[in-house]
Amino acid sequence: MAGPGVTITAKGPLLAKGSRALPDGVQAALQELVEIGEQHLAQMARPNPGGVFLSVAEAGPGRASTGNYRRNLHGRMTSTTAGLIDVGAVKYGPWLESGEGRGTSTRFKGYRLFGRTKDWLNKQASEVMAKHTLRRLR
């Protein structure tokens, strides 16, 4: 069972130019995007220091979150032009992301942590890519 994740892929006309410095810059930019995406996810997974993904009643004394979901967030490069951030084998990951479970219907709509992170990374990508590729071409 695959859990939620964010795939970061480099594509476009810059990769077809054939510059020797460009692939290094692209790989460095992708690595940075994976790292900042992982940090952003971890920050969103712990919005309050008292308890994560727990109601106020559940986050009382002695019932704080164990941080299992946050600990399982991992980013990695899958190739020179692609990276992935996911939660590994956390069984409740898909439910936290979308609120959809095994045939059960609830009012919970999901946190959409990965969906929001993907949107945030799309906004950051051009700035990070320009920073790394322009530095290598000088």
H helices within 56-112, ranges in order?
A: 68-71, 93-98
- pLDDT of 36 above 50: yes
What mean pLDDT comes out for the span 6-30?
72
**Structure token pair of residue 126:** 């051009």
What mean pLDDT comes out for the span 81-102?
82
pTM exceeding the 0.85 threshold for the entire prediction: no
Among 9, 10, 29, 15, which residue's Cα sits nearest to residue 135?
29
CA dihedral 35, 122, 108, 89 (to 10 degrees): -40
What's the Cα-to-Cα distance from 29 to each of 5, 19, 90, 104, 106, rounded to whole Å?
A: 19, 16, 28, 41, 40
Instruction: Write down the residue that tokens 């590994």 correspond to.
Output: 88
Number of domains in the chain: 1
128 is in which domain, residue-wise?
5-13+22-137
pLDDT > 70: what percent of the chain? 69
Range name among 34-38, 46-50, 56-60, 131-135 with the lowest pLDDT average: 56-60
